[in-house]
Structure 1
């Protein structure tokens, strides 16, 4: 029995057909467009009239018109993913508030995973992203995980090199799992009940953040100065000496934190992640500078600055290193790329990153045989996860620990008395 006749207007290339459940809507790419290479595909739009019109007018028709007119401003419009495919699931997740509210780094991590999984080429030469969700099961995802785990490349001598990328693939599977869950909630009944990316038994990588040596710190700083990026040289030393993260150094460290009128012999060190902060002494009881190299650089910066962030870019209008796509969410993409340029120009290990210098500083505290209390005072640690027990840090512990660290460098031949 036909459903009651509907006279509601339809967008171009959209048709309605009667079904047992009501009027179903379909977007049909015209034959002439298919013959001339239109990348869009015909697709069902469902029973909901409002939803069908919205998808046709907001997504499908603009993409079709951009292809038809060859408008240079919209020539990069991506091919619209067919409803029910893996690519469509990723697009649905991107449109959800639970994705849009993420910080830029989290979005980039998700996109790397979507590209890795959706872009995997199958035996029939099609991308996995083009496949319908109904054919993606747990057996397929388990097999995919094993195939993605080992990356095979060719080195400069033509030899095939294999390396494991467990952390990257783990993140990719977690991103797909998240996208599946969000898409299923946005589209009740349109996805299979079982999420094939869930409960995969992922094993964490044994890889730790690469730790820089003191010699590598010196090499990085020297090359950064040669490349007119002295702010990065200073930042690396701050990370090493005061064990701070990039957020604390580039987005929090203010000129007023260093040798203020009220505390001319101290610096205020803030840890945004743990919400810990404190004043670190710059001189010992005899008046000797505890951080002579770093203090000389910061003193020079402060002479020409009244306020604002201590470390800024070394060119142009000397703006901040991070950007803020969202308030209170700094993005360090540009800084990270510049750091990598310096690392490579200095001939250092390519796996090093800015965080490597902070980890190197922590390693130095152990090599210098600092006590738990001294390490805690230096790194502003206050949880059982990082130290055996809670202890109170004091300026005396910071001074003692700093002296022992510098003495350790002297013993290794890095400093001269």
Structure 2
């Protein structure tokens, strides 16, 4: 092998010590492009398949540089040519993955699930199971046995961690299980990914975020110029909303998906929240009436923190209609990956825990309601579909008001106790 001539798409740079380091870079035609509607960067597409490879460092060993670049360039060629590419052998693992992508068992899944499965299948197809050997995708699918599956799992555990490795094996188990049902087409008669005894799924559930963490998060988000994130956090914590409902993510399977909109908000009166899972809206009263000190009736705000963020968002966006939570840089709804990246930046800047997820805001709000003595949080959280009748809705709104009142009293009591402890 002539090592003096670099493979396609490989660049030679020098590190701080002046030593040569080589990088494989995606060609311009395969790089992510900007979506005109959302402003988000999306993968380049060929033959209905997204480009999931990324530019990467190859190191300084020329022999390794050539070997790795050859594999990456082969994968790039396969993507460019599509499932019918000349290098994709029928019956191979990569061919099986492409076959599975065309099955209703795969296409009926949600867009995010399809994307996650697709990334794992592409990662597995390009995976080297032995140094110098062809990648896993080039192996004959019917020849993959239990020993090979176990070796692949252990390699992934070492490189990507137990959670990602388990997820990858679960995807393989689904693919091979469906392939065995259609063995006359696939040639696969056994599923080597069954009975693996996978012990690592999610490490643990989402931790409930405390009010102190929630307050610190909002302050840092505003400071960093992400008012939208502070408002979304308030919708999740105060309104106990699901993350997907607070952000109204762009969903390829549901382009008309509802979002929490300004039209449903009456300052100081009520706000209507979306419940995509149940299909029902939930209207939260934003005040309760109490006897005034000088007689008469006084209105007391029930969600001052939420309304504070809503007021700042309205001032920042100058909007009276449309989705409440939109990205500052584009004015459009967030895509999930962008939200996750911004969330982590805010947490890191605020010195908040690594395990603090956005779902934790909803969990924290529901926990706070329970701590206030209310067991039934359905009128706020929308956990269960409720009959749509005038009488029931009235009772439901009144209970939501009572829940919020109990919650405010609980917050005040905890604040007074904390203050007393510092004296």
**Shared fold (TM-score greater than 0.5)?**
yes
Identify the residue that residue 306 of structure 1 maps to in structure 2: 320
Counterpart CA distance in 1 for 2:7 and 2:262 is 59
User: Does the CA contact (< 8 Å) of 1:112 and 1:172 recur in 2?
Assistant: no
**Structure 1 pair 393–236 and aligned structure 2 pair: CA distance change class (3 A):** farther
TM-score (norm: length of structure 2): 0.64
What is the SS of the residue equivalent to 1:288?
A: strand
User: Does the CA contact (< 8 Å) of 2:217 and 2:230 recur in 1?
Assistant: yes
What is the SS of the residue equivalent to 2:282?
A: strand
Identify the residue that residue 309 of structure 2 maps to in structure 1: 297
Counterpart CA distance in 2 for 1:256 and 1:206 is 40
**Structure 1 pair 294–133 and aligned structure 2 pair: CA distance change class (3 A):** same
User: Does the CA contact (< 8 Å) of 2:179 and 2:188 recur in 1?
Assistant: no
Identify the residue that residue 167 of structure 2 maps to in structure 1: 171
2:186 to 190, 193, 203: 190
Q: How many residue pairs are counted as aligned between the two chains?
A: 317
The offset of 1:75, in angstroms, is 11
1:406 to 401, 405, 408: 408
User: Does the CA contact (< 8 Å) of 2:260 and 2:274 recur in 1?
Assistant: yes
User: Does the CA contact (< 8 Å) of 1:377 and 1:393 recur in 2?
Assistant: no
1:110 to 117, 123, 131: 117
Counting only pairs closer than 5 Å after superposition, residues 137-286 of structure 1 correspond to structure 2 as: 137-149=145-157, 165-166=162-163, 168-182=164-178, 188-203=184-199, 204-205=201-202, 207-251=204-248, 252-259=259-266, 265-286=269-290
**Structure 1 pair 188–74 and aligned structure 2 pair: CA distance change class (3 A):** closer
User: Does the CA contact (< 8 Å) of 2:142 and 2:189 recur in 1?
Assistant: no
Structure 2 stretches lacking a partner, 5+ long: 1-5, 9-46, 48-69, 249-258, 291-298, 386-393
User: Does the CA contact (< 8 Å) of 1:109 and 1:171 recur in 2?
Assistant: no
The offset of 1:307, in angstroms, is 1.5
The offset of 1:181, in angstroms, is 4.5
Deviations 1:263-294 (A, max 9, x none): x7111122111223222110012210001121
TM-score (norm: length of structure 1): 0.65
The offset of 1:208, in angstroms, is 0.6
Superposition RMSD on alpha carbons, in Å? 3.7
Counterpart CA distance in 2 for 1:198 and 1:220 is 43
1:333 to 326, 331, 337: 337
The offset of 1:215, in angstroms, is 2.0
Identify the residue that residue 399 of structure 2 maps to in structure 1: 397
Counterpart CA distance in 1 for 2:120 and 2:364 is 30
**Structure 1 pair 363–116 and aligned structure 2 pair: CA distance change class (3 A):** farther
**Structure 1 pair 176–305 and aligned structure 2 pair: CA distance change class (3 A):** same
1:90 aligns with 2:97: yes
Deviations 1:210-259 (A, max 9, x none): 33222221222112111211011011011001111122222210111111
Q: Larger relative CO (CA 8 A, sep 6+): 1 or 2?
A: 2
Structure 1 stretches lacking a partner, 5+ long: 1-35, 39-57, 59-66, 153-163, 323-331, 384-391
**Structure 1 pair 350–300 and aligned structure 2 pair: CA distance change class (3 A):** closer
**Structure 1 pair 276–185 and aligned structure 2 pair: CA distance change class (3 A):** same
The structure number with the bigger radius of gyration is: 1
Identify the residue that residue 315 of structure 1 maps to in structure 2: 329
Deviations 1:43-64 (A, max 9, x none): xxxxxxxxxxxxxxx9xxxxxx
Deviations 1:6-25 (A, max 9, x none): xxxxxxxxxxxxxxxxxxxx
2:80 to 77, 81, 87: 77
Identify the residue that residue 135 of structure 1 maps to in structure 2: 143
With 111-120 and 276-285 compared, the bigger mean Cα shift is at: 111-120
What is the SS of the residue equivalent to 2:273?
A: strand
Counting only pairs closer than 5 Å after superposition, residues 5-20 of structure 1 correspond to structure 2 as: none
Deviations 1:129-185 (A, max 9, x none): 332213212343244334534558xxxxxxxxxxx633x333212222333345566
